Amino acid sequence: MNGVAPRRPRLVGFAIVSREGMIARSDGSFPPELRIPADQTFYQDALDKASAIAHGRHSSEGGPRRAARRRIVLTRRVERVVTDPGNPNAVLWNPAAAPFDETWMKLGLDDGTIAVVGGTDVFGLFLNLGYDAFFLTRAAASVPRGRPVFPGVGDGTTPEDVLGRYGMVLRSSRVLDEATGTVLEEWGPKGA
């Protein structure tokens, strides 16, 4: 290191939600009605362009290229940032024990993009750190109760309510899959 602080990577979120803003069922399982091929293609292609993926211990993006990707796995089981003993491409991070900067520096990332892929608390934590963009895929399928995309979603509070509270605005919206009525929204920080 030459004394110049490395630039922070861009933080970009990706989630697919039910009509009610849920990412999973109450038991933590992934609802098959949210497995939409057009979304999977968009998602996996976007992750291929990211420098690393960040997610909680019970989530991952899946797919055939998973093992090759660098990743940050959130867990309360460690007291500092450590390389995952089972995966040299991953670091284990406990946000209560170490700042985010230490984590991505441990991965050796100077800038680039970190793709944040959930679950609920992880999406919420990165709202506080500040997303540069959030891609919210909205399925027409109903999963009325379950794990929300952000803490606080449900009981009348929508994902867009929460994004708005964190200064995020809708940048664009397009139909991703007509047959299932799936729409992809891109949110970004107001004024950026």
User: Is residue 57 involved in binding ligand NAP (CB under 6 A)?
Assistant: yes
Check binding of 21 to ligand NAP (CB under 6 A).
no
The answer to whether residue 117 forms part of the interface with ligand NAP (CB under 6 A) is yes
**From the CA atom positions of the chain, what is the Rg in Å?**
16
30 touches ligand NAP (CB under 6 A) = yes
8 A C-beta contact, residue 89 and residue 150? no
Q: Is 76 in the site for ligand NAP (CB under 6 A)?
A: yes
Which of 21, 118, 159, 188 is close enough to bind ligand NAP by CB under 6 A?
A: 118
Rounded to whole angstroms, the maximal C-alpha distance in the chain is 54
Output phi, psi for 64, to 5 deg. -70, -20
Footprint on residues 148-177 left by ligand NAP (CB under 6 A): none
16 binds ligand NAP (CB under 6 A): yes
Is beta strand 52-56 parallel, antiparallel or unpaired with respect to 113-116? parallel
Interface with ligand NAP includes 55 (CB under 6 A)? Answer: yes
Cβ contacts of residue 15 below 8 Å, gap of 6+?
Answer: 23, 117, 118, 123, 134, 135, 136, 137, 149
Residue span 87-116 as binding mask against ligand NAP, x where in contact by CB under 6 A, dash where not: -------xx---------------------
Using the rule CB under 6 A, which residue among 120, 141, 148, 159 binds ligand NAP?
Answer: 120
Strands (E), the chain: 10-17, 22-24, 52-56, 71-74, 82-84, 87-93, 113-116, 133-138, 147-148, 168-177, 182-189
Does residue 77 belong to the site contacting ligand NAP (CB under 6 A)?
yes
Residue 64, both tokens:
């055939």
Which residues in this chain contact ligand NAP in the complex, by CB under 6 A?
Answer: 15-16, 23-24, 28-30, 34, 55-59, 74-77, 94-95, 117-122, 125, 147
